[in-house]
Amino acid sequence: MNIKGSIVALITPFHEDGSVNFEKLGELLEWHIANGTDGILVLGTTGESTTMTHEEDDAVVEYALKTVNHRVPVIAGSGSNDTATMLMKSQKYADMGADALLAITPYYNKANEEGMIRHFTTVADQVSAPVILYNVPGRTGCSLSVSAVERLSKHPNIIGIKEASGNISFATSISRYLSDDFVMYSGNDDMIVPILSLGGSGVISVFANTNPKETHDLVAKWFEGDRAGSLAIQQKYLDYIHALFCEVNPIPVKEALNAMGKQVGGYRLPLYEMAEKNKNVLYAEMKKVGLL
């Protein structure tokens, strides 16, 4: 399975009391499908799954699968720094019908290279849904090595990598292992075009939360051969994308959605409301691109 295009790393909306707002989640899913989003990722970093219970995670996956109903692929974030927990969650979401699973490197534990590889292969060997690796060292404090990616790319049930290191040299190095059976997605919204130029298949995007059509169009134009048009979208929104990361994700993107009237709620500690000076930066960039 090769999902091409814009996959939104969807936020999880909360009620004022902090509980998951499933009605709003349904609205967001419908909005994304209507605006051309090519795939939905729930329970990623942007989805705040690290502060949600296993029961809440399960309910979000179940609700998303039922609501989307095969109209676009749904990927479930099933990662953990504990391999046994990641396996348990991955098996559950695969059985629910998730089209793919996003599995993260073992944060805090870190692991040596063989442990890192077995962290992923233990899951990929035992689940029916295909696995996408998630490399985000800025979050986890550890990174897949080039040699580990080479080995993992050959596993028949590992179909790709979300590359979010921000290191174009690393991305270039692992691009040698891309094929019809192993693809790469940009995990950094300011590097979508560079990753596409290396043979990438699209983006797993924070930016798409507020701009689903534009993110879809950016990738679609690239594959249609309109490289200049794709680059123009990347450059137009670059400063706004940077503003979306002026504080730790997903704080700014939820603030942006609320400013747009989407009413997605707040955060769970340790995430907290943006500093006023950063809100002003975000709002200024939103105005420049017509979101406010």
Residue 277 lies in a domain: no
- Asked whether the predicted pLDDT for residue 1 surpasses 90, the reply is no
Q: What is the mean pLDDT of the chain?
A: 97
* Range 209-236 average pLDDT: 98
Residue 239 lies in a domain: no
* CATH number, position 93: 3.20.20.70
- Asked whether the predicted pLDDT for residue 156 surpasses 80, the reply is yes
Question: How many separate domains does the chain show?
Answer: 1
Comparing CA positions, the residue from 50, 46, 121 lying closest to residue 79 is 50
* Range 265-277 average pLDDT: 96
Q: Which domain holds residue 42?
A: 5-227
Residue 289 lies in a domain: no
Q: Looking at beta carbons, which pairs linking 80-85 to residues 24 or more positions away fall under 8 Å?
A: 80/104, 80/106, 81/106, 81/107, 81/108, 81/109, 82/106, 82/109, 83/118, 83/119, 83/122, 83/123
Identify whether the C-beta of residue 52 lies closer than 8 Å to the C-beta of residue 63: no
Amino acid 227: pLDDT: 97
- Asked whether the predicted pLDDT for residue 2 surpasses 90, the reply is no
Amino acid 247: pLDDT: 97
Residue 241 lies in a domain: no
φ and ψ at residue 244, rounded to 5 degrees: -65, -10
Residue 98 lies in a domain: yes
Residue corresponding to tokens 């990347």? 234
Residue 286 lies in a domain: no
Amino acid, res. 122:
T
Identify whether the C-beta of residue 161 lies closer than 8 Å to the C-beta of residue 124: no
H/E segment holding residue 227: helix 227-236
φ and ψ at residue 278, rounded to 5 degrees: -75, -35
- Asked whether the predicted pLDDT for residue 246 surpasses 80, the reply is yes
Tell me the sheet residues that pair with 203.
6, 186
Residue 264 lies in a domain: no
Report the alpha-carbon distance of residue 156 to residue 234 in Å, rounded. Answer: 33
pLDDT tens-place string over residues 77-127: 999 999 999 999 999 999 999 999 999 999 999 999 999 999 999 999 999
Residue 272 lies in a domain: no
Report the alpha-carbon distance of residue 220 to residue 212 in Å, rounded. Answer: 12
Amino acid 110: pLDDT: 94
pLDDT tens-place string over residues 275-285: 999 999 999 99
pLDDT tens-place string over residues 20-79: 999 999 999 999 999 999 999 999 999 999 999 999 999 999 999 999 999 999 999 999
* Token pair for 15: 């009620």
Residues identified as active-site: 134, 162
Amino acid 289: pLDDT: 98
